[in-house]
Structure 1
Amino acid sequence: MDRRAAPVDEPPRRAYHHGDLRAALREAAERVLVERGAAEVSLREVARAVGVSHAAPYRHYASREALLADIAAGGFDRLRAVFAALPEPADPAARFVAMARAYVDFAVAQPAIYRLMLGPEVRKADHPVLAEAGHRVLGTLRQALVALGVPAPATNEAMAAWGFAHGLAQLLVDGRLEVDPEVDTAPDPQRLVERSARLFIAGLQAGGAAGNTA
């Protein structure tokens, strides 16, 4: 009887068995983005992380920029879902303030995704999926402003509201919200966002663009 030890099977090579390659590639790329920044994302590295050939990602993404655009579009969809999950207060002003807070919280919690969504790395005009995702978020903001009494489509007001929220978010994400220590104490970010949102509403009212909602 041959008592030689039976050969030990080598562990199988990692292979790709997921049913949705596009989603797997996007998730792998997002990990690289969060850990090392947008400049480090490449189709070759993402393919290696997922366990497919270097050519496989091109079935779903024509370029590295297309992959980044898909990640950015997903960020806008997440932001819209955050807005949708907010409670529906009877007071439209309270909802607007809550949206401003949620926007800034999202940026601070996911700075790499936020920078990609609104930074120069990807042009929305070149990627319809990204442009449409951004427009959906803008549509949610338009609705909140119309509820405040701003006549539809509230384009200028929506852009102005996005501008003030983005400015605060960017300052917080970059750690640049600085004050003069001889004059001020460090502001509480949540209170600062709420105060800014209510000043914006007051400006709408003073300009006659909104109803008497406090």
Structure 2
Amino acid sequence: MSTLYQDALRAGQDAVRTTILDCAINLLVTDGPAALTMRRIAADIGSSTKVLYTMFGGKEGLIDALYREGFARLRRVQEQVPRTEDPLTHLTHLGAAYREHALAEPAYYRVMFEQTVPGFRPSAEALAIAETAFDTSAAAVAACMEAGIFQPGDAREMSKIFWAASHGAVSLEIAGHFTPEDGGRRYDALMAAVARAFSTQHESKNEGQGT
């Protein structure tokens, strides 16, 4: 009977990397950060620790890889959201995809945002990868500005405000404070409220009130 490592090795190095990361994230969820050792992971997938050290350099490198993988997956999810003719609808769909992905992979979400592993600090490369995960949403915000839906401004900064709102709502839902039904309803209401705050219609109303 072959091991997980042997099965992955036949599929190539990318499969080996994915197998290791999947094992690591599962250990983190089931047994906590203390269980996340190179020896334990190697035993679980049926490889030598040398394989892990060669690929990741050590435990810190492995955790950094988990962080990068989380953002890489988020970026792929965002890039796969179909574009629509209405840029605001596209932005809304991106927000929904963010929530769905976070709820589908809460372990990665916690590594990315909640310092699940005490003392871990992402590398400069990991932080750069994390930043690219929001290129799609920043482009969608820019499209809303170009279409006259949103007020002019810094599209990336505005997208970060959407992200901050999204993150707060999703974190509460993952932590169990919102039921899935309430979480979805409140998330949609929050995203709509942020969009209204940046709307050119909101700007016009404010100007009318000041006259």
Identity of aligned residues (%): 24
Listed as ranges, the gaps of 5+ residues in structure 2 are 205-211
* Pair 16,154 (structure 1): closer, same or farther in 2 beyond 3 Å: closer
Alignment of 1:1-214 (within 5 A): 16-17=5-6, 18=9, 19-20=12-13, 21-120=16-115, 121=117, 122-124=120-122, 126-128=123-125, 130-149=126-145, 151=152, 153-177=154-178, 188-205=182-199, 206-207=202-203
- Deviation, structure 1 residue 190: 2.0
* 8 A contact 2:5–2:46 mirrored in 1: yes
Q: Which moved more, 1:100-109 or 1:148-157?
A: 148-157
- Deviation, structure 1 residue 39: 4.1
Q: Aligned partners of 1:65 and 1:13: how far apart in 2? A: 29
* 8 A contact 2:83–2:90 mirrored in 1: yes
AA matched with 2:58:
S
AA matched with 1:140:
T
Render the CA deviation track for 1:142-192: whole Å, top value 9, x for unaligned: 1111011065752321221110000000000001239xxxxxxx9632222
AA matched with 1:171:
L
AA matched with 1:158:
S
* Pair 54,177 (structure 1): closer, same or farther in 2 beyond 3 Å: same
AA matched with 2:165:
F
**Which structure exhibits the higher relative contact order, with contacts defined as CA atoms closer than 8 Å and separated by 6 or more residues?**
1
Q: Aligned partners of 1:165 and 1:117: how far apart in 2? A: 14
Segments of 4+ in structure 1 off by > 4 A?
12-16, 150-153
Per the normalisation by structure 1, the TM-score is 0.76
Q: Aligned partners of 1:52 and 1:30: how far apart in 2? A: 17
- Number of equivalent positions: 188
Q: For the pair shown, which has the larger CA radius of gyration, 1 or 2?
A: 1
Higher helix share: 2
Per the normalisation by structure 2, the TM-score is 0.77
Listed as ranges, the gaps of 5+ residues in structure 1 are 1-11, 179-185, 209-214
